[in-house]
Chains A and B, each alone.
Chain A
Amino acid sequence: MWFFANRIPKRYHRDHSHHHHGSHDHHHHHDHNVETRKSGTREIKVVRRVLDANDIMADRMRSHFAAHKVFVLNMMSSPGSGKTTTLQKTLARIMPDLRCAVIVGDICTTHDADRLAESGAPVIQINTDAFGGDCHLAAHVIEKAAENFDLDALDLLVVENVGNLVCPAEFDIGENARAVVLSVTEGEDKPIKYPLMFRESDAAVLNKTDLLPYLDYDRDAAVDYIHQVHPGMPVFELSAKTGEGLAAWVDWIRGKVRGKG
């Protein structure tokens, strides 16, 4: 049941017998730790994180938001979990107290943005199409989108990420907190299929609980899986449709925003 067992096929494993450069050994033949010479080849040490550029930009955005006292919540989910409806209902409850804005990412269409704009919050839609149809939002995209807001007039910026449980987990966008939304119409084992997403989140929403009477969904198993991957993470079971359970989730956000200092 290990989640990545097949991700990296065996033949890609680093195997020193595949070196075609004689008796080279990575750990012993470094010339002043900078480069290694082998016949016909020079190895240049690099040691750089591939996502360095994104992470640096994300940190810059985090400082930028902090300077304007804006709390940023990154909402991630699988497609169809009811993230947009949850956010609509959340905004309706939280807007009297907090000044909110939304950045919504989709590969294409503005449907979600149109729905969210009804809340009265300023909404910026990002179609990642223009950025190569990306499956996630990256920090530089948030920087562009945030230019459209008067940050001094905001307390909370919610980023509704592209519906996808894989890629958004990998990209820091300069947020202060991350929440993952899943619903009871999905498999209970989503948390262990996408452990990175659940490890990286600060809270989980289990949506569509109004449907539980009609499903064979094992709610206890789902919560157990979440806590197996991320012990102690708050789980908010709610129905965005009926509003049941929404209050605790809204209180959690409110607490986070107030605690930002």
Chain B
Amino acid sequence: MHEMGIAMEIVDIAKASIPQEMQGAKVQRVNLQVGKLSAIVAESLRFCFDLVTKDTPLEGAELAIEELPVVARCKDCHTQWTVTEAVFTCKNCQSGNIDILSGRELDITSIEIEDED
């Protein structure tokens, strides 16, 4: 639903990341990390990405999505665990006083550009 806007942001960031000396080269792949807690539907995002990359250096590029697990740490007993269902209380001491260490990511990690030399 909001994937179109997100796809447009990805294209903007990717375009701005192409080094000066490589302007005009084709971007082959955009590497994205998406936390499992993010409200992103990968299929929709790829569909939108294909649409908004038309006539840009990213046309035809692959959007590679790496899914990151939800990892939490208890602030009381310092237990760290991977959250695999929608339960956000400490596995060890049942405290609700937790930090989410990962799982909210929506980050571009790199772009891969065609380079013939």
Min CB distance B10 to A, Å, is: 6
A152 within 8 A of B: no
In the bound assembly, the distance between CA atoms of A204 and B87 in angstroms comes to 17
| Residue of chain A at shortest CB distance from B90 | A231
Chain A's nearest CB lies how many Å from the CB of B82? 11
B88 touches A7 (CB 8 A): no
Distance A167 CA – B44 CA, assembled complex (angstroms) = 13
Pair B89/A171 contact, Cβ less than 8 Å: no
Task: Judge whether A48 and B108 touch: CB under 8 Å.
Answer: yes
B58 interfacial by beta-carbon distance below 8 Å: no
Establish whether residues A138 and B113, one from each chain, have CB atoms under 8 Å apart when the complex forms: no
Q: Give per-residue flags for A63-107: 1 if the beta carbon is below 8 A from chain B beta carbons, else 0.
A: 000000000000000000000000000000000000000000000
Enumerate chain B residues within 8 angstroms of A12, measured Cβ to Cβ.
Answer: 42, 46, 64-65, 67
Q: In the bound complex, what is the Cα–Cα distance between A164 and B66 (angstroms)?
A: 26
Q: How far does the alpha carbon of A221 sit from the alpha carbon of B98 in the complex, in Å? A: 22
Q: Is B73 an interface residue (CB 8 A)?
A: no
Tell which of A42, A47, A132, A169 touches B112, judged by Cβ atoms closer than 8 Å.
A42
B109 an interface residue at 8 Å Cβ cutoff? yes
Q: How many A-B residue pairs have CB under 8 A?
A: 150
For A132, the chain B residues whose CB sits under 8 A away are 4-5
- Residues of A near B42 (CB, < 8 A) are 7-9, 12
Contact B28 A41 (CB under 8 A): yes
What's the least CB distance linking B66 to chain A, in Å?
A: 4
In the complex, B54 has a CB within 8 A of chain A: no
Q: Is the Cβ of B87 less than 8 Å from the Cβ of A228?
A: yes
CB-contacts of B11-63 with A (<8 A): 12-14, 17-19, 22, 28, 31-32, 34, 36-43, 46
Cα separation A50 to B31 with both chains bound (whole Å) = 12
C-alpha gap A83/B108 in the complex (Å): 35
A171 to B106, CA, bound (A): 12
Chain A residues positioned under 8 Å from B6 (CB to CB):
50-51
Chain A residues positioned under 8 Å from B98 (CB to CB): 231
Contacts of B113 in A (CB 8 A): 41-44
Chain A residues, CB < 8 A from B46: 12
B92 at the interface (CB under 8 A from A): no
Can you give 9 A-B contacts (C-beta < 8 A)? A7-B41, A12-B46, A36-B110, A48-B108, A49-B107, A136-B2, A191-B86, A228-B87, A229-B87
Q: Which residues does B use to contact A, with CB under 8 Å?
A: 1-2, 4-6, 9-10, 12-14, 17-19, 22, 28, 31-32, 34, 36-43, 46, 64-67, 84-89, 95-98, 100, 105-116
A contact set with B: CB distance below 8 Å: 1-4, 7-9, 12-14, 36-38, 40-54, 132, 134-136, 138, 164, 166-167, 169-171, 191-192, 195-197, 199, 225, 227-232
Please list the 9 inter-chain residue pairs (A to B) with the smallest Cβ-Cβ separation, ordered nearest first: A231-B96, A14-B66, A192-B86, A135-B1, A42-B115, A167-B2, A8-B42, A195-B86, A46-B108
